[in-house]
Amino acid sequence: MTIDEQISLLRKGTVDCVPEEELRRKLERSAKTGKPLRVKAGFDPTAPDIHLGHTVLIRKMRHFQQLGHTVIFLIGDFTGMIGDPTGRSATRPALTRQQIDENAETYKQQIFKLLDPERTEIRFNNEWFSDFGADDFVRLAGKATVAQILERDDFKKRFQTQAPIGMHELLYALAQGYDSVALEADVELGGTDQKLNLLMARQIQQAYGVKEPQLIMTTPLLEGLDGIQKMSKSLNNYIGITEPPRDMFGKVMSISDDLMWRYYELVTDVSLTEIADLKAAAQSGDRHPRDLKVELARRIVSDFYSQDDAEEANKEFDRMFREHQAPSDVPTVEKPAGSIRLVKLLAVEGLAPSVSEAQRLVTQGGVRVNGERVSDVKFELGLQTGDEALIQVGSRKFLRIVFK
């Protein structure tokens, strides 16, 4: 690629690039000297299940790899014990060493679905902080002022409302900055919510004598399936990258037509020019939005599994939602013949988290028995030996009951 083509690839799906002119300079110098850039991204091992929102940043790491650079997947095992205060209105409980180790191992098993293991350094910042003494931390703390730390909105709001701010939280951005010193980072990637931390790292590098501090690039926070709030497991609006292909495909198909373009830009490698062409085709009626969404779902599934898996997920989706058939692999359980209340059955078999939630699903029309919608929360299944019943909850949960 030419330098302009490289910049176009790297700037796709990013928000900030600070300083903007340094990206070209660093790429040109790397090409001239043959020395790869060292590209760092830090992850606190607090949520080991990676979802599609996390991959916006990881995909940008992959873009650097595709251009021949070295990416550093930094697991903040030390800073994880501090707890990233970003966006929080209260001090976050620190993780235990065991929790950190378990979560970090899970991260390592998942990131290579996108990253090239040969061009990825996995590092832990306890490597250098375990040797830090009290004097080292005092010197590190002297590299920034309290006023700079309190520029962060979350700290500012907590300070104004007299909510507690732990002294250890003030060290988080400084410790993250020192990571860049230890790793000799040329570029650091992070979400837009990390911008102030990334800028602080440039300052820390300069304070430790780094002549050319890192360039920072930020990526946006991906909206979840609802199209409103950022993707989050706690909000149940996420697509996990280890979910079965069928579930992943179905979730992508559930997003709105408008949100589809956001996903095309942030979680695929389709160029902005191609995306503009697809959008124009949809607006002119040459391409149906549903077909473009199918293409998007197939791309995403292929990234984390294979093209064959994507094709099979596509067929299964059509079977369920276009032909209105049950999935080909519906789980089956046996029950003794007799009567059983439907809402209790849903809770017992894990189709609903509780009886009360099962009742809500029934009243909202989200439960079918043998294809017929059930609206009565007192409905009972009363079947004899040898009979079967197909239970459907929502659009994706199925269970076949065989009565013995």
- Check residue 152 and report its DSSP letter: S
> Could you tell me the sign of the dihedral formed by the alpha carbons of 55, 300, 62, 227, in that order?
negative
* Residues in the chain, pLDDT under 70: 47-48, 81-94, 321-326, 328
Distance CA 380, CA 402 (A): 15
Q: Mark out the alpha helices in 1-145 (DSSP H runs).
A: 3-11, 20-33, 52-66, 79-82, 97-111, 126-129, 134-141
Q: With contact defined as beta carbons under 8 Å apart, do 401 and 345 qualify?
A: yes
Distance CA 176, CA 199 (A): 10
- Domains and their CATH numbers in the chain: 3-219 (3.40.50.620), 245-321 (1.10.240.10), 332-403 (3.10.290.10)
- Residue 213: count other Cβ atoms within 10 Å of its Cβ: 23
How confident is the model at residue 89, as a pLDDT?
44
What's the pTM value of the predicted model, to 2 decimals? 0.77
Spatial CA neighbour of 260 closest among 275, 272, 247, 277: 275
Token couple for 326: 């049950």
Q: For residue 71, what are the β-bridge partners?
A: 39, 120
Side-chain half-sphere CA neighbours of 287 within 13 A: 16
Angle between helix 289-304 and helix 245-253 axes, rounded to 10 deg: 150
- What are the Cα distances from residue 194, in Å, to 6, 84, 377, 383? 24, 10, 47, 58
